[in-house]
Amino acid sequence: MQIAQVIVDIPTRQTNNPYSYLIPDYLTDQVVPGMRVAVSFGNRKITGFVVAITDKAAFDGKLKPIDSLIDLAPVINKELLQLATWMADKTYSFKISCLQTMLPGGMRTKNQKRLIATEDSVVAAYPKIFHGQHEVDYNRQSLDNQSVTKVLELERQGKIRVEYNLTKHARPIMMKAYQAMLKPDQISGELAGVRKNANGQIRLLDILRQHPGETFLQSKLTAAGVTTSALKTGEQKGWVKATLKRHVRNPFLRPVAHTTPLHLNADQQKAVDQINIDVSDRKNDVFLLEGVTGSGKTEVYLQSIAHALETGRTALMLVPEITLTPQIVGRIRSRFGDQVAMLHSALSNGERYDEWQRINSGQAKVVVGVRSAVFAPLDNIGLIIIDEEHDSSYKQADNPRYQTRDVAKWRAAYNHCPVVLGSATPSLESRARAMKGVYRFLTLPERINHHALPHVSIVDMKTEMAQHQSILSNQLANAISDRLEKHEQIILLLNRRGYSSFLMCRDCGYVPKCPNCDISLTVHKDTHTLDCHYCGHKEPIPSVCPQCHSKRIRFYGVGSQQLEEQVRNQFPTARVLRMDVDTTRRKGSHEAIIDKFGAHKADILLGTQMIAKGLDFPEVTLVGVLNADSALQFPDFRSSERTFQLLTQVSGRSGRADKVGGVIIQTFNPDHYAIQLAKTQDYERFYATEMRVRHDGKYPPYYFTVKLTGNSPSENQTASEMFGILTFLKDNLSKQAIILGPTPKAITRINNQYYYQIIIKYRKEPNLKKTLDQILVDSQKKQRHGLQIAIDNEPLDFM
């Protein structure tokens, strides 16, 4: 008797442990860990993941049987099953949400499956399953147990394939195809019987001669000059057999030219050598690769990946959200071709599924992707790279609140391979670890070919604004004219972090606020609405002030649209491209803008954070930052770090090739150290200064942190529950732990829920884990009264 241990899809703390279910006889030896199953739980029908098969139950009572299998092959491999257990524990989340997070979007929902015969014989042999068709919906209800067992067996033998019937777009595409049935020596005989002018048939035989046994998409054959009538004749004469072939969606929009490895400079060579030794020796070091902007980090990644592939292993490379992908993915593909799979948020569910499938089946050996790609089902990983390791998109904001770096390190340990964290401006955490020798430190201190870092100047907008009201300072405007004259390119960054345009009445000061949240509404000119970015509330833009009926109700703040208008007015001959959420909504538009700018078909690229990182355009000699300090006002201990990183990154886009680059930073805080040190691009001094600030303020990396957030529909209830938690923490933690709060969050009310938080700062708290786990267990009971508790281990901010 076999028993399946199942993690059920009921997000409660208790269900982090598996439940036992009997495996019915007809499924003996067919159920494998990593498959999803349907089971009864109480009187509900739910799904779950099989995590183990045992012969003893964890429980004495009578076991319920598994109702049916959802997957016919595992969707989570052994490594990821183990990872889920670690991750649930580490992030104070449910194992079920960890497992679900690992699957590509389209597979997370309950979906239909189709069975596809890969051999004709099975269609005829199992009419009860196939009803004479090559492809059928897999409908558990209409099959008897014997047939289900058979299906599983055939799947394992590779005689049938299972496809997930995703939503319409996500569906695997099966297309009409023909399989070559002739042996090479039969071709001449057949050719003799063909009329001289039957070009289509002659062409078909020609193709069959070159590719015996292969299956071709009909579209490929017709494109090659085989007519449909020739195909019909060929089918009748037994040359080819009609069948279906899967069309793999190709998310790579354009073909790329192949590139060969560059000759490395000495620093690059040293870095590659050290990484490669680790790859060969299966050592599990973490490297911090700190290289100034334009120092050629990407080439180091590429040559290390090549080495991992040479040793027969695979490689995983993570990049921040789509900002980087078009250029970097292009570079990786041009080196490694079709071995590359790409996973990012701009893919459709179907594309993501296809890519996942290519990785899972071992076809793709190199995966490039954003945060969630850290769960790519790659086997035998030889190297993991995290580019721009300081980027905040590597931390997931929702449950499970994982840090990609930590997951990567876990997988590297499992696979006995190194991790490379790369950045021009490493996070303080990583740099501090490198200083302590926990990470190995590699540096690329110079730009490629000894190009100079750009010259940065700072414009004090307080004095500037006193003279004239304009988004562009005189100095920046003059520099733009200068570059336009020289036919060089310009990047203008509008720092939108914590910054948006809102409406205010000039007479009474009224600002429209969201009815559900404690936040002012944002003006969206394209839809002519005021939107709440927290709950989605929308309302029309009023033309008179609802409070005093004045008509002088105006926009404040600058949007990228407004900046574009102003730049076009001031420089009417300049060709301007804008890149922000609005202009990149359509698929492929991001690449299109980058291509156009790269081909110098535009002079000015302006936009939000999207243009700050990773771009490598040799003709850019001026970078302007419109509002450097909009993040500095945030009540966030990382705001200086973020500002410094952003300014250094965006400055690094200037003067990357032979022409010397300049940068102009407009700011209201010209004396702030983050801005002053970004001027000299002096990471070393920034690191030293900021470490002192963190030390004095008892912040990371000197202290570990945890954020507890509670919310409920009643402010009183939220507050009193959080005070209860505070008492519990004080009773269980040591005197050294610093507990801040509970305080209302910066935006206390969101969607009519009131949020309070507690921050814990600590250096060593052996009881912390147990205490927090207990709080989570207790919170399950309180949930009935509408209170939610979330625990964020090492939060990105304290807001």
Ligand X SMILES: Nc1ncnc2c1ncn2[C@@H]1O[C@H](COP(=O)(O)OP(=O)(O)OP(=O)(O)O)[C@@H](O)[C@H]1O
- What residue numbers does the annotated binding site for Zn(2+) cover? 505, 508, 514, 517, 532, 535, 545, 548
Does the protein bind ligand X through residue 424 (CB under 6 A)?
yes
- Tell me the closest approach of the beta carbon of residue 750 to ligand X, in angstroms: 36
DSSP 373-422: GGG---SSEEEEEEETTT-GGGB-SSSS--BHHHHHHHHHHHHT--EEEE
Question: Is the CB of residue 624 less than 8 Å from the CB of residue 269?
Answer: no
Does the protein bind ligand X through residue 448 (CB under 6 A)?
yes
Does the protein bind ligand X through residue 795 (CB under 6 A)?
no
- How does strand 738-750 pair with strand 240-247? unpaired
Q: Which DSSP letter does residue 23 get?
A: P
Does the protein bind ligand X through residue 265 (CB under 6 A)?
yes
**Smaller CB separation from ligand X, 565 or 616:** 616
Closest CA to 384 of 74, 79, 797, 33: 79
Question: Is the CB of residue 222 less than 8 Å from the CB of residue 113?
Answer: no
Binding mask 543-572 for Zn ion (x = CB under 5 A): --x-xx-x----------------------
- Tell me the closest approach of the beta carbon of residue 443 to ligand X, in angstroms: 11
Q: Pick one of ligand X, Zn ion, none as the site partner of residue 298 (Cβ within 5 to 8 A by kind).
A: ligand X
Does the protein bind ligand X through residue 451 (CB under 6 A)?
no
- How does strand 314-318 pair with strand 440-444? unpaired
Does the protein bind ligand X through residue 326 (CB under 6 A)?
no
Is the bond preceding 400 in cis, omega lying within 30 degrees of 0? yes
Closest CA to 721 of 787, 792, 791: 787
Q: Which DSSP letter does residue 605 get?
A: E
611-640 binders of ligand X (CB under 6 A): 614, 616
**Smaller CB separation from ligand X, 294 or 330:** 294
Does the protein bind ligand X through residue 670 (CB under 6 A)?
no
- Tell me the closest approach of the beta carbon of residue 292 to ligand X, in angstroms: 7
CB atoms within 10 A of CB 302: 25
DSSP 767-784: THHHHHHHHHHHHHHHGG
Does the protein bind ligand X through residue 295 (CB under 6 A)?
yes
**Smaller CB separation from ligand X, 6 or 623:** 623
Distance of CA 208 to the CA centre of its chain: 43
Q: What's the length of the chain? A: 799
**Smaller CB separation from Zn ion, 38 or 799:** 799
- How does strand 788-793 pair with strand 704-712? antiparallel
**Smaller CB separation from Zn ion, 534 or 703:** 534
- Considering only 93, 268, 495, 500, the residue that binds ligand X (CB under 6 A) is 268
Residue set of the binding site:
505, 508, 514, 517, 532, 535, 545, 548
Does the protein bind ligand X through residue 297 (CB under 6 A)?
yes
Q: Pick one of ligand X, Zn ion, none as the site partner of residue 481 (Cβ within 5 to 8 A by kind).
A: none
**Smaller CB separation from Zn ion, 519 or 577:** 519
Does the protein bind Zn ion through residue 678 (CB under 5 A)?
no
Question: Is the CB of residue 159 less than 8 Å from the CB of residue 122?
Answer: yes
505-534 binders of Zn ion (CB under 5 A): 505, 507-508, 510, 514, 516-517, 532, 534
Does the protein bind ligand X through residue 383 (CB under 6 A)?
no
Q: Which residue has the tokens 């695979």?
A: 314
**3-state DSSP assignment of residue 10:** coil
Does the protein bind ligand X through residue 294 (CB under 6 A)?
yes
CA distance linking residue 786 with residue 717, whole number of Å: 9
CA distance linking residue 98 with residue 155, whole number of Å: 27
For residue 196, which phi and psi values (nearest 5 degrees)?
-60, -30
Which two structure tokens, joined as six digits, stand for 230?
């020739």
691, burial (CB in 10 Å: exposed 0-12, middle 13-18, buried 19+): middle
**Smaller CB separation from ligand X, 403 or 651:** 651
- Tell me the closest approach of the beta carbon of residue 403 to ligand X, in angstroms: 21
Q: Tell me how far CA of residue 762 lies from CA of 340, 407, 642, 705, 783, in angstroms.
A: 42, 22, 23, 6, 28
**Smaller CB separation from ligand X, 524 or 656:** 656
Q: Pick one of ligand X, Zn ion, none as the site partner of residue 505 (Cβ within 5 to 8 A by kind).
A: Zn ion
Does the protein bind ligand X through residue 291 (CB under 6 A)?
yes
Among the residue ranges 435-443, 503-511, 670-678, 736-744, the one whose residues contact Zn ion (CB under 5 A): 503-511
Q: Pick one of ligand X, Zn ion, none as the site partner of residue 295 (Cβ within 5 to 8 A by kind).
A: ligand X
Residue 617, CB-side half-sphere exposure with 13 Å CA sphere: 32
- Considering only 382, 652, 655, 741, the residue that binds ligand X (CB under 6 A) is 652
Q: Pick one of ligand X, Zn ion, none as the site partner of residue 514 (Cβ within 5 to 8 A by kind).
A: Zn ion
- Tell me the closest approach of the beta carbon of residue 534 to Zn ion, in angstroms: 5
Which two structure tokens, joined as six digits, stand for 527?
């839809």
**Smaller CB separation from ligand X, 150 or 590:** 590
**Smaller CB separation from Zn ion, 542 or 697:** 542
- Give me Rg for the CA atoms of the chain: 30
**3-state DSSP assignment of residue 46:** strand
Q: Which residues are near Zn ion by CB under 5 A? A: 505, 507-508, 510, 514, 516-517, 532, 534-535, 537, 545, 547-548, 550
Binding site for ligand X (CB under 6 A): 262-265, 268, 291, 293-299, 424, 448, 614, 616, 652, 656
